Amino acid sequence: MKLKVVLTLVVLPLILSLVHNVKLAQASQDAPAKSCQELEKEASSFHKAARELSDYRFAHWNELTEEQRNALELLFWDTLNYASEVNARAVICKVSNS
């Protein structure tokens, strides 16, 4: 039950946000880009979510099946990689605007 709560409260909103961002990008290539500050906040949010996934996995290691642990690890890395990608975009944004 706890895994369902984590998936519902952490992972599902992340996935919905990613899908929403992809759809927005596809809908209009001419849409204004996110500000540097928005990118920083988004990267920070995804980094925090990745940490929470990892913390949950290790805190409940013995309660989770190997399959659940592996699924959480994959979600952790996907989320962390996305956070790093957005963070890089924020840095590029700041550098190009200075």
Query: pLDDT tens digits, residue range 51-70?
Result: 999 999 999 999 999 998 99
Per-residue confidence band for 77, with pLDDT thresholds at 50, 70 and 90? very high
The pTM for the full model equals 0.68
Alpha carbon separation from 40 to 46, 47, 70, 94, 96 (Å, rounded)? 10, 10, 29, 10, 15
**Nearest Cα to 17, choosing from 82, 63, 85?**
82
Q: Is residue 51 part of a domain?
A: yes
Query: CA–CA separation, 86 vs 89, rounded Å?
Result: 5
Which pair of tokens denotes residue 37? 């500050």
Q: Is residue 57 part of a domain?
A: yes
Q: Is residue 8 part of a domain?
A: no
Is the pLDDT confidence value at 73 over 70?
yes
Q: Is residue 1 part of a domain?
A: no
Which pair of tokens denotes residue 40? 């920083």
Task: Domain count for the chain, please give it.
Answer: 1
Please name the residue that has the structure tokens 């996305």: 82
Q: Which domain holds residue 53?
A: 35-98
Range of weakest confidence among 16-20, 21-25, 49-53, 67-71: 21-25
